Amino acid sequence: MSNVNELNSKFGVPGVVTIDEGKGGLTRVRVTAPAAEAEIYLHGAHVTHYKPQGQKPVLFMSAESLFDPAKAIRGGVPVIFPWFGPNANDPKAPQHGFARTTVWPIRSVSTSDHGVVITLGLASSDATRKVWPHEFEATFTVSVGKALEMSMDVVNKSTREIFFEEALHTYLAVGDIRRTTIDGLAGRTFIDKVDNKARKTQPPGAFTLSGETDRVYLNTPDTVTVDDAANSRRLVVSKTGSASTVVWNPWTDKAKAMSDFGDDEWPHMLCVETANAGDNVLTLAAGAKHVMTATVAVG
């Protein structure tokens, strides 16, 4: 608790930003601003809550999520880095990299008329080098206002180029996935991970999911609009510096097989992930920086 008190003394803003002990004893940042409220856990630099004033929560969180220092949080916006899915070179390495299960220290907190900006940082260490032998510095910036704005900056501190994948694995809260339509990906090629990684082309127009879905859309900078009919709203996910978009819902059987996900929660979530993955793996020269941003807004 002393560490939480120190952080609160250094970064807290009375009535607006509070650092406290969240679920599982994990440290979190709570934001209560005129435009919106939010929660960010330092474990994984994980945004677990975002709610604009007068709106329903925008992010889905599983009631079964494990707030465990050794586990990833289920829901919200997990930060995936430096690989997506299993490590191609080491099957024993953690799924989706180490960023989502590592504590990101707070670098700064600022406020303005537009909202609150929280900046967290992660750098290479003995622990990261054991699974990914490269020097890097990552910065994750969260802006809480009328929209949720997130920026993932990666600097290559090595003397040679590095290759990495990344994603902001955004879980959107929807009223009923069976009444939810997705628009903005027509004509794009995607890898269908449910169908043995077959490559397919998204037909014209908006679409609705009807079963387990795990698709990596390639070479797409497009904004995706989610028509959440059951909640009478639209959720808009726009991005920069990202060439991949992942669409995911576990549906019934996969949900039951996941220990940290409720059996009946799948109708109320949809992942629209801002990413650079698969064919869109990034190559970063020595000393160079890459910036990926994602903005989630109620349309």
* Per annotation, catalytic residue among 43, 46, 49, 169: 169
Residue 287: Cβ within 10 Å count: 11
* Per annotation, catalytic residue among 165, 166, 265, 273: 273
Q: Would residue 169 show up in a list of annotated catalytic residues for this protein? A: yes
Report whether 30 contacts 16 (CB < 8 A). Answer: no
Cβ contacts of residue 135 below 8 Å, gap of 6+? 124, 156, 157, 158
User: What distance in Å separates the CA atoms of residue 58 and residue 5, rounded to the nearest whole number?
Assistant: 29
> How big is the CA angle at 71 (ends 215 and 108), to the nearest 5 degrees?
90
DSSP state of 28: E
Q: Would residue 96 show up in a list of annotated catalytic residues for this protein? A: no
Beta strands in 27-90 (DSSP E): 27-32, 36-41, 46-52, 79-80
Measured distance between the N- and C-terminal CA atoms of the chain, rounded to whole angstroms: 40
Report whether 111 contacts 132 (CB < 8 A). Answer: no
Catalytically active residues are: 169, 273
